[in-house]
Each structure stands twice: as C-alpha cells, then as structure tokens.
Amino acid sequence: MHIDALGELYQDPLARAGAIMLVIIAGLAIFAPLISGYSPHDYTGKIFSPPDIDHPLGTDSVGQDIWARLLFGARTSLLVALSVALISSSLSVIVGASAALAGGLYESFCMRIIDAMISLPTIIVMILVASYLRPSLPLLILLISLFSWPGGARIIRSQVLSLKQRMHINAARTFGAGKGHIIFTHIIPDLSPIICALMMQDARRAVFMEAGLAFLGISDPTVISWGKMMNQALAFTYLDVWQWWLVPIGLALSATLIGISFLSFSLETAMDPRLRREESMGAARLT
Amino acid sequence: MNTSNKYGLRDGPPVRASDALVNEAHPELGIASKLLGIFPSSLANYLIALTAIFSINFILPRLMPGDPLQAIYGQEALVVMSDEVEAQIIRQFSLDKSWWDQMLAYVLGLLQGDLGFSYYYREQVFHVILGALPWTLLLTGLALVLATAIGLVLGIESGYARGSNLDRSLVAGLMFLGGFPDFFIGILLLLIFAVSLQVLPISGAASPYAGHEGLAHIVDVLKHLALPLSSMILVRLGGIFLLTRNTIVTLLGESFILTARAKGCQERRIKYAHAGRNGLLPVATATGLRIPQLFTGALFIEIVFSYPGVGSLLNTAIDARDYPLIQGILLIVTLTVLTANFLVDLLYSRLDPRVRYAH
C-alpha cells in the first residue's frame, strides 16, 4: 500500500510543467525590485502609455508602471497562497485527526460543524465578513484559512479512520507502541501525500479568493493585488489599454492557478491506485 | 462507504481525493433524519448552516466598534437619514434594548420577510433582490444543466476511448481551461466577442428601450446571455468532464460491463446505459457540492458583463456600503444554495437506490 506519491511527481510531465510555471512566477516575485526599473507606487509622468523599452507593459490610468505592479502583485498572491495553505491544512489535520482518534461525542460534534460549513457558500460569507472588517492582508489570510479547512478535515478524518485499522498499525500496537508513537511514526508520515494535496487545493483557493475579493473591491488599499488591478482595468475596455493591462495580469493570475492545479492533479492521480493503471496517459496530458 | 459495505456491494466510485468526502456518508444518522425518514440526513446540516448565517448576520454588525446603528446601516446612510427615520429604525431593531430583545426583533422581522431597507435603492431589500434574482437563476440554471450535460457526454466518450487522441486532447484542453478563474474567462470572451469582433452585446441582459416584443425579445435576451453563459459553462465543464471520465475508466473494468459485452449489447448501450448510468452517481454528488461555487462564479461573471443579477447588485452594494443589502443578498443566496443542495440530495436518493434503502 505504500506508494511514494510525492516521489512520482518528479516523473510526471504534468507536475513538472506546473512546477516550472510556479518556479518562474516565484522567481519573478522574489526578484521583483531587480527586474523592474520602477517602484509599483511611483507616478511615472505618463498615463496610458503603450508598451515601450522603458515600460514593458506600458502605464495605467494613474501613470504607474504596469510591469512593476504585475511583479509586486505576484508577491501578494504567493504570500497569501503559502500562508493560507499552511494555516488551513494545519487546522484540517488538527481537527480531522483528533476527531478520528478521539471519537465519541467530540467526533460527532466536529463532523456536524464541518458538514454545516461545507454546505455554506463560503465565498459569499467571506464577502460579507470582509466588507464589514475591511481586512488588512494578515487578517485576510486568517479569514480565508478559517473558511477553507473543513473539506480537508473531513478527508483527513476518513484517512486516519482507515489508517487506524491497517495491519502495520495493529502490529505496532501489539508490540506495545503508545498513542503518541503511533501518531508520529506511522499515521503522520502516511498522511503526508494527502496533506500536500490539501495544501495545494488550499493554496489555489486562496489565490483565487484574494484576487476575487480584490476584484470585488474588498482589499487592503496599500496592497498591490492582481484582482484589484483587473477591476481597475475593466473600466477601460473601450481603449486599447486592455491589451497590455488587463490581459497580461489575467494571464499571470491564470498561470499561477493552472500551475497549482497541474501539480495537485498529478499528485491526486499518483495517490489513486485505480487511476495508476493508465501510465500511458501521463505523457499525453501535457500536450 | 458504510451503505455499500452494509449490503456487501462494491464501493461507490469516488475517484479523486476531493471526491472522497462524497463517498463517505454519515456514520451517525441525525435525530432529525430519523424523525423525517424520507429526507436526506443532510437536512440537519442545512439547518445548522442556516442558523450560522442568521447568527453571522445578527452578530457581525453588533460586534463592530461604535454605534450598532452605524454598523448596520453604514456611515454614509446615517448622513442622509433624518432623526425621525433614525428613531424608527432604533425602535424597529430594539437597538436601545438588550441583546436578547434585539435578537427577538431580528428573528420576528425575518419571519415576516423583512430584510431591512436599502438606503441606496430607497426600497425594501427583499424587493430589490427579488428583482435581480430571476436573472441569476436563469444564468446559473442554464449553466448547470448545459455544463453537466456536455460534461457527461464528453466524459463518457473520452473515458470509453481512453488513451485515444480524442481523450488526450479533451483531458488536456479542458483541464487547462478549468484552471482559469471564472471572471478572467468572462473577460477574455468579452474582449474577443464584444470588444474586438463586436458581434455580441457588451453588457446588460436586454437592450434598453428597444421595445422588442415576443420572439425578438427572446432572441435579444439570449444574445445578451450568450457570453456570460458560455464563460460559466467553459469553467465548469472541466470538473464534470474529468470526474465522469475517471469514473467511466474505473467502471470499464467491472464485471457488469463484461457481461453486457458478452450478451452482445450495442456499443452505445454499454456506453450510456451501463457505464454512463453508473457514472451519474458521483457526478450528481459533485454537482451538489459545487452549487455554492456555481453561484459565486455567477456573481463574478455578472459583474464582468454588468448582467443585472444578484452579483451586480452585490457589487453595487459593496461600493455603496449598503450593508442591509449585502446581508440580504447573503441570506437569499444561502437559502437558494441550501435549497438546491437539498434537491440534489433528494435526486441522489432517486438515482442510487442503495442510498434510499440505507435509511
């Protein structure tokens, strides 16, 4: 049963493509100040200037360099993705695993809450909460995490429930292993591919939500966000500026999302023994 | 999982980790479901979810610093409000009384269909939303039906011909498409068909003041619907397609398919009546689970195309900080989503007799 799902990712061209996309975007985000000649907040003196050597993507309606803003926007997206993935998946593991291990009334209670939260239209609840709180970036990260853990907790719980019954864990128990020992040496390592898959789903949702909320006009005014920029650009579709303003930013956002999707799709396929039989598919999915 | 094991049947076919949660029914049947018998056990969840929404709506404005009146109605509204109206609202919400009385007033108001007053539209919130809801329901309903139908057919064909060129290109293409955020697909379609080619209208749901009647009006509405609807279908298609395809792939190894082949069934019957029929189950569940996403997707798409549904209303409400309207929209959309989910649950028990007998 032990499949090295994470190790198989290196073999899958789809996963490689996703990873390359994300590495490029992360590189652009990290080295943003070196790559762009302008600060994303500075007024360059020209409004709606078309792309030239000085401004690879021209300038926007308030005279800011779009290329610089695109690069710094990547920082926001990736920061949100990473933080939400960490916080939300930790919550999923804590609640899901503890429910499965403790059982009883506590488990029923947790599952009730999880089921109820899953049936809520999360984004709309978040829009309401965010429109009241007008959250700063850290608060937004916390808010997205608080609404994204239940699905993962459910999956973790069912995994832990089935792991509890596995032979090797029963064997460990007969050898007199304690609860803590079983959790840390047997259950958590076996969960790691699933936790990775959850983190990727969380990250994808977080990038989308941050951009979506900003697109709706709910964002920290000091933060540079792709969603906010797209919202601003959408008002000027009657000019030609969308070609170097709206479309590149949309593509950057989509590339981030698609990169994460590819990685997580490939990981889920590797984890599912029923889909593993069709190895020939791996090469085809990329093209 | 418990339902199928109980009857010695094979596991249902959940294929991706994200669908694993579909497979695992409630181990403990809630008291409510035991009482109601015919209703899915999820009814209790929906009631809890609804209570949660009511509580958020009630507590959030009252937790904000400062005057609750200001938090409920927003600063801008108070400026234009006369003292008389202010006094009336305070009386209506019992804002000068204890929290308990406030809650009572809130619940009583809700029971009478009173969602508050939108100061931006100067109308009852309920009526404002009722005016926009049909457009959203039209958009989401059509998108749901069409995306599911197209996704099912493509998924069955693709899964049946696994490894063929058709299968490969469909998987690659639809997965790529599904990666895009809804509103960017919408923006792209808008830029291509409405801005560059100018073959379809750029915004709205019908030409204003055109005075179209009968058939001309329907054509006009469909023309306006084309772009928002196609963007919603394009985004949703990938998920349904992949799920169906993967289910079909796993089903093809089952013995009942072999039996059907052995008794000389036609290819098309095996595809649709044998494999396809069973492929419906996970798709129905996944569709139910994705209904919230369907609605939130519609909100964004409506904003892109200025489609006069609930999404555009929400955008206006956020810009104007019309809090009663935002709250009302949240409440109505949640109710719609929960009702739709509930209907899918009922449908699911019709599709899968095992679920019905398990109760």
pLDDT tens readout for residues B298-308? 888 998 888 88
Say which range, A123-127, B35-39, B322-326, has the weakest mean pLDDT: B35-39
Task: Give the pLDDT confidence score for residue B70 in this predicted structure.
Answer: 66
Q: Exposed, middle or buried by CB within 10 Å (0-12, 13-18, 19+), for B267?
A: exposed
Best probe of the B interface among A124, A204, A249, by most B CBs < 10 A, is A124
Distances (CA, A) of B325 to B95, B232, B339: 19, 25, 21
Q: Exposed, middle or buried by CB within 10 Å (0-12, 13-18, 19+), for B83?
A: exposed
Task: Give the pLDDT confidence score for residue A245 in this predicted structure.
Answer: 81
Put simply, the answer to whether A120 touches B303 (Cβ < 8 Å) is no
- A45-74 b/e with 16+ CB inside 10 Å = b? eeebbebeeebbbbbbeeebbbbbbbbbbb
Best probe of the B interface among A119, A146, A198, A228, by most B CBs < 10 A, is A119
Distance CA A135, CA A218 (A): 8
Best probe of the B interface among A126, A132, A201, by most B CBs < 10 A, is A132
Task: Give the pLDDT confidence score for residue B249 in this predicted structure.
Answer: 86
Neighbours of A174 (CB within 10 A): 8
Distance CA A69, CA B121 (A): 36
Contacts of residue A125 in chain B, CB cutoff 8 Å?
53, 56, 330, 334
| Smallest CA–CA distance from A243 into chain B, residue | B191
Put simply, the answer to whether B318 touches A216 (Cβ < 8 Å) is yes
Confidence category of residue B297, pLDDT binned at 50, 70, 90 = confident
Task: Give the pLDDT confidence score for residue B1 in this predicted structure.
Answer: 36
Contacts of residue B24 in chain A, CB cutoff 8 Å?
154, 158
User: Is A57 in contact with A37 (CB distance < 8 Å)?
Assistant: no
What backbone phi and psi angles, to 5 degrees, belong to A125? Answer: -60, -40
Secondary structure (H, E, C), chain B: CHHHHHCCCCCCCCCCHHHHHHHCCCCCCCHHHHHHCCCCCCHHHHHHHHHHHHHHHHHHHHHCCCCHHHHHHCHHHHHHCCHHHHHHHHHHCCCCCCHHHHHHHHHHHHHCCCCCEECCCCEEHHHHHHHHHHHHHHHHHHHHHHHHHHHHHHHHHHHHCCCCHHHHHHHHHHHHHHCCCHHHHHHHHHHHHHHHCCCCCCCCCCCCCCCCCHHHHHHHHHHHHHHHHHHHHHHHHHHHHHHHHHHHHHHCCCHHHHHHHHCCCCHHHHHHHHHHHHHHHHHHHHHHHCHHHHHHHHHHHHHHCCCCCHHHHHHHHHHHCCHHHHHHHHHHHHHHHHHHHHHHHHHHHHHCHHHHHHC
Q: Would you give the end-to-end CA distance of chain A in angstroms?
A: 31
Nearest to B341 among A119, A154, A237 (CB): A119
**Average pLDDT along chain B:** 76
Nearest to A124 among B52, B60, B330 (CB): B330
Q: Write out pLDDT tens, residues A161-206.
A: 888 888 888 888 888 888 888 888 888 888 888 898 899 999 999 9
Q: Does residue B27 register a pLDDT over 70? A: no
Q: Write out pLDDT tens, residues B130-139.
A: 888 899 999 9
Task: Give the pLDDT confidence score for residue A135 in this predicted structure.
Answer: 83
Q: What is the mean pLDDT of residues B279-289?
A: 80
Nearest to B17 among A119, A268, A284 (CB): A268
Task: Give the pLDDT confidence score for residue B81 in this predicted structure.
Answer: 66
Task: Give the pLDDT confidence score for residue B356 in this predicted structure.
Answer: 58
Task: Give the pLDDT confidence score for residue A231 in this predicted structure.
Answer: 86
Put simply, the answer to whether A287 touches B172 (Cβ < 8 Å) is yes
**Residue A242 DSSP code:** G
Q: How close B9 gets to chain A, by Cα (Å)?
A: 18
Confidence category of residue A26, pLDDT binned at 50, 70, 90 = very high
Q: Write out pLDDT tens, residues B157-178.
A: 888 888 888 888 888 888 888 7
Q: What is the mean pLDDT of residues B183-205?
A: 83
Confidence category of residue B68, pLDDT binned at 50, 70, 90 = low
Distances (CA, A) of A59 to A40, A142, A227, B46, B323: 10, 33, 17, 49, 35
Best probe of the B interface among A108, A115, A133, A201, by most B CBs < 10 A, is A115
Confidence category of residue A17, pLDDT binned at 50, 70, 90 = confident
Put simply, the answer to whether A121 touches B188 (Cβ < 8 Å) is no
What backbone phi and psi angles, to 5 degrees, belong to A65? Answer: -70, 120
Distances (CA, A) of B277 to A271, B270, B280: 26, 10, 5
Distance CA A161, CA A169 (A): 12
Task: Give the pLDDT confidence score for residue B67 in this predicted structure.
Answer: 62
Q: Write out pLDDT tens, residues B13-25.
A: 434 444 433 334 4
Put simply, the answer to whether B318 touches A217 (Cβ < 8 Å) is yes
User: Is A91 in contact with A155 (CB distance < 8 Å)?
Assistant: no
Put simply, the answer to whether B42 touches A132 (Cβ < 8 Å) is no
Neighbours of B332 (CB within 10 A): 19
Q: Which tokens is A231 given?
A: 């919202």
Task: Give the pLDDT confidence score for residue B139 in this predicted structure.
Answer: 92
Distances (CA, A) of B339 to A115, B21, B336, B344: 15, 20, 5, 9
Task: Give the pLDDT confidence score for residue B34 in this predicted structure.
Answer: 45
Q: Which tokens is A97 given?
A: 């695993």
User: Is B116 in contact with B125 (CB distance < 8 Å)?
Assistant: yes
**% of chain B residues with pLDDT over 90:** 7
User: Is A197 in contact with B17 (CB distance < 8 Å)?
Assistant: yes
Say which range, A82-96, A146-160, A208-222, B25-39, has the weakest mean pLDDT: B25-39
Q: What is the mean pLDDT of residues A252-264?
A: 90
Q: Which tokens is A177 given?
A: 């292993």
Contacts of residue A124 in chain B, CB cutoff 8 Å?
292, 295-296, 299, 329-330, 333-334
What backbone phi and psi angles, to 5 degrees, belong to A6? Answer: -70, -40
Q: What is the mean pLDDT of residues A121-140?
A: 84
Contacts of residue B52 in chain A, CB cutoff 8 Å?
116-117, 120
Task: Give the pLDDT confidence score for residue A284 in this predicted structure.
Answer: 37
Specify which residues B123 forms β-bridges with. Answer: B118
Nearest CA to B26 out of A171, A119, A111, A20 is that of A111
Distances (CA, A) of A121 to A67, A211, B333: 35, 17, 8
Q: Does residue A72 register a pLDDT over 70? A: yes
Q: Write out pLDDT tens, residues B222-276.
A: 888 889 999 999 988 888 898 898 888 888 888 888 888 888 888 888 888 888 8
A vs B: CB pairs below 8 A: 185
Specify which residues B118 forms β-bridges with. Answer: B123
Task: Give the pLDDT confidence score for residue B209 in this predicted structure.
Answer: 67
Distance CA B176, CA B170 (A): 10
